[in-house]
Chains A and B, each alone.
Chain A
Amino acid sequence: MFGLTFLAVFALSALFYALARNKAAVLGGDTPRILHSRPNYHGFLAFLLSAIAGILVLLVVWVLWGAWIESRFIASILDAQPDLSPIEVELALSDARALSEGGIASRTDALREQVAREISGQTALHHYGTMILSLVAAAAAGLWCLRASHVGWRARNRSETIIRRLLALMAVIAVATTAGIVLSLIFETLNFFNNIDWQVHKFLFGTTWSPLSGVQEGKLDPDKVGAIPLFAGTLLITVIAMLVATPIGLFAAIYLSDFASAGVRAWAKPMLEILAGIPTVVYGFFAAITLAPFLRNTGESVGLSIASESALAAGVVMGIMIIPFISSLSDDVINAVPQSLRDGSYGLGATKAETIRQVVLPAALPGIVSAVLLGISRAVGETMIVVMAAGQGANLTANPLEAVTTVTVQIVMLITGDTEASTAAGPAFTLGFTLFCMTLLMNVVAQRIVRKYRELYD
Chain B
Amino acid sequence: MLDDQKSMERVMADEDTKITAKGVDVFYGDTHAIKSVDVNIQNRAVTAFIGPSGCGKSTFLRCINRMNDTIDICRVTGDIHLDGQDIYARDVDPVQLRARVGMVFQKPNPFPKSIYDNVSYGPKIHGLAKNKAELDEIVEKSLRRAAIWDEVKDRLDAPGTGLSGGQQQRLCIGRAIATAPEVLLMDEPCSALDPIATAQVEELIDELRQDFTVVIVTHSMQQAARVSQKTAFFHLGNLVEYGETDKIFTNPEDPRTESYITGRIG
Using a CB–CB cutoff of 8 Å, the interface residues on chain A facing chain B are 261-262, 338, 340-351, 354, 358-359, 362-363, 456-457
CB pair A347–B102 under 8 Å, yes or no, is yes
Interface SS of A by simple majority: helix
Q: Which of the residues B65, B99, B111, B125 comes within 8 Å of A344, measured between beta carbons?
A: B111
Q: Give the residue among A262, A344, A347, A350 with the most B Cβ atoms within 10 A.
A: A347
Residues A345 and B121 in contact, CB atoms below 8 Å apart:
yes
B176-225 contacts to A, CB under 8 A, are 176, 179
How far in angstroms is the closest Cβ of chain A from B102? Answer: 7
Complex: how many Å from CA A347 to CA B172?
11
B67-A344 in contact (CB<8A): no
- Contact call B176/A348, Cβ cutoff below 8 A: yes
- A252–B77 Cα gap in the complex (Å)? 35
Give chain A residues whose Cβ lies under 8 Å from the Cβ of B113: 362
A–B pairs, 5, beta carbons within 8 Å:
A344-B110, A345-B111, A349-B96, A354-B125, A457-B161
Q: Which residues of A contact B98 (CB under 8 A)?
A: 346-349
| Listed residue (B96, B109, B113, B122) with the most chain A CB atoms within 10 angstroms of its CB | B109
Whether the Cβ atoms of A359 and B122 lie closer than 8 Å is: no
* A338: B residues at CB distance < 8 A: 109
Q: Are A340 and B107 in contact (CB under 8 A)?
A: yes
- Give the chain A neighbours of B175 by CB distance below 8 A: 344, 348
Inter-chain contacts of B105 with A (CB < 8 A): 340, 343-344, 347
Given A338-B109, A363-B112, A347-B67 contact (CB < 8 Å): yes
Counting CB contacts under 8 A, is B31 at the interface? Answer: no
| Inter-chain pairs besides A338-B109, A347-B176, 5 sampled, C-beta below 8 Å | A340-B105, A340-B107, A341-B109, A341-B111, A344-B111
Does B95 count as interface, using CB distance less than 8 angstroms? yes
- Report if B226 contacts A (CB, 8 A): no
B: interface residue count bin: 20 to 34
Assembled-state Cα–Cα distance A107/B109 (Å): 83
B72 within 8 A of A: yes
Report whether B102 and A261 are in contact in the complex, using a CB–CB cutoff of 8 Å.
Answer: no
Does B103 have its Cβ within 8 Å of any Cβ on chain A? Answer: yes
Query: Residues on B close to A: CB < 8 A?
Result: 65, 67, 70, 72, 95-99, 102-103, 105, 107, 109-113, 121-122, 125-126, 161, 172, 175-176, 179
Q: Report B-chain residues with C-beta under 8 Å of the C-beta of A456.
A: 112, 161
* With A343-B70, A343-B105 as contacts: A349 and B112 at CB distance below 8 Å: no
A363 touches B96 (CB 8 A): no
Closest 9 CB pairs of A and B: A349-B99, A347-B103, A349-B98, A340-B109, A348-B122, A344-B109, A349-B95, A363-B112, A350-B125
Q: Nearest residue in B to A262 (C-beta to C-beta)?
A: B72
Whole-angstrom distance from the CB of A333 to the nearest CB of chain B?
13
Would A349 and B126 count as touching, CB distance under 8 A?
Answer: yes
Residues on A with C-beta less than 8 A from B65 are 347
Name the distance in Å between A356's Cβ and chain B's nearest Cβ.
13
Which of A343, A345, A349, A354 has most B Cβ within 10 Å?
A349
User: Shortest distance in angstroms between A454's beta carbon and chain B's nearest beta carbon?
Assistant: 12
B70 touches A348 (CB 8 A): no
Interface contact A346-B121, CB-CB below 8 Å: no
B97: chain A residues within 8 A (beta carbon): 349
Chain A residues positioned under 8 Å from B96 (CB to CB): 349
Q: How far is the CA of A456 from the CA of B105 in the complex (A)?
A: 20
Q: Are A348 and B109 touching (Cβ within 8 A)?
A: no
Distance A456 CA – B112 CA, assembled complex (angstroms): 8
Contact assessment for B125 and A349 in the assembled complex, using a CB-CB cutoff below 8 Å: yes
Give the docked Cα–Cα distance between A158 and B57 (Å).
58
Contacts of A344 in B (CB 8 A): 105, 109-111, 172, 175
Chain A residues whose CB sits within 8 angstroms of the CB of B179 once the complex forms: 348-349
Q: Report the separation of the CA atoms of residues A270 and B54 in the bound assembly, to the nearest whole angstrom.
A: 35
- Which B residues are in CB contact (< 8 Å) with A346? 67, 70, 98
A358 partner residues in chain B, CB cutoff 8 A: 121, 125
CB-based nearest B residue for A340: B109
Pick the most buried of A261, A338, A344: most chain B CB atoms within 10 A of its CB. Answer: A344
| Nearest CB on B from A154, distance (A) | 47
Report the Cα distance A150→B76, complex, angstroms.
73
In the complex, the chain A residue whose C-beta lies closest to that of B118 is A344
Quick one: closest B residue to A365, CB to CB? B112
Instruction: Please report the C-alpha to C-alpha distance between residue A340 and residue B112 in the assembled complex, in whole angstroms.
Output: 12
Give the one of B72, B95, B96 with max A CB within 10 A: B95
With a cutoff of 8 Å between Cβ atoms, the chain B residues found around residue A343 in the complex are 67, 70, 103, 105, 109
Q: How far is the CA of A347 from the CA of B126 in the complex (A)?
A: 13
Does A261 contact B72, Cβ atoms closer than 8 Å?
yes
Which residues of chain A come closer than 8 Å to B67, judged between CB atoms?
343, 346-347
- CA gap between A341 and B97 in the complex, in Å: 19
A438 to B70, CA, bound (A): 45
